[in-house]
């Protein structure tokens, strides 16, 4: 029962995070592009396309998590994206660059708190993507 609750909480929380984050980025694409630029990791020509299309990827992942379709595979995609985000934040932080995270709008500076928060998001996605455990709706008995 505890695994079922953890599964639902992780799934709904990640869906909400991706939907909200994507929505905020869509509202201010140029501001998000400026945030991406401040990390000094992407070549200038790709910053605006990433700022334009990444929010749609996040919204799609959030919607798929919300609907429950192919949760394990969607969670793996989410984990990959979150791992990439976390790596970018860690590299930027270790380089001593004062930059916004870009996760939830302006003023969300990269700090140990944002790194821990994003690592927690990644842990939730990994939890959802791990095979071999019972997920909601599955029976505990097997018919052979």
What pLDDT score does 138 carry?
Answer: 47
Helix, strand, coil percent content, the chain, rounded in steps of 5? 70, 0, 30
Q: By CB neighbour count within 10 A (0-12 exposed, 13-18 middle, 19+ buried), where does 20 fall?
A: middle
What pLDDT score does 15 carry?
Answer: 98
Residue 88: pLDDT over 80: yes
Predicted structure pTM score: 0.86
Residue 105: pLDDT over 90: no
Give pLDDT tens digits for 8-46: 999 999 999 999 999 999 999 999 999 999 999 999 999
The DSSP 8-state label assigned to residue 42 in this structure reads S
Is 82 within 8 Å of 50 (Cβ atoms)?
no
Rounded to 10°, the helix 2-27/29-38 angle is 100
What pLDDT score does 28 carry?
Answer: 92
User: Three-class SS of residue 39?
Assistant: coil
The residues spanned by each domain of the chain are 2-129
What pLDDT score does 137 carry?
Answer: 52
| Cα 71 from Cα 51, distance rounded (Å) | 26
Residue 84: pLDDT over 80: yes
**pLDDT tier at 132, thresholds 50, 70, 90:** low
3-state secondary structure string across 78-135: HHHHHHHHHHHHHHHHHCCCCCECCCCCCCCECCHHHHHHHHHHHHHHHHHHCCCCCC
């Amino acid at each position: 029962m505890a695994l079922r609750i953890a599964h639902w909480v992780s799934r709904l929380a990640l869906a909400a995070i991706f939907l909200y984050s994507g929505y905020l980025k869509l509202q201010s694409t140029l501001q998000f592009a400026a945030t991406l630029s401040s990390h000094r990791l992407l070549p200038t020509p790709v910053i605006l396309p990433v700022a334009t299309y990444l929010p749609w990827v996040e919204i799609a992942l959030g919607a798929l998590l919300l609907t429950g379709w192919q949760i394990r595979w969607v969670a793996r995609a989410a984990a990959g994206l979150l791992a990439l985000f976390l790596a970018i934040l860690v590299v930027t932080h270790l380089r001593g660059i004062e930059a916004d995270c870009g996760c939830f709008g302006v003023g969300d500076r990269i700090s140990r708190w944002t790194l821990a928060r994003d690592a927690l998001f990644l842990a939730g996605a990994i939890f959802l993507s791990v095979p071999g455990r019972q997920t909601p709706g599955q029976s505990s008995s097997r018919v052979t």
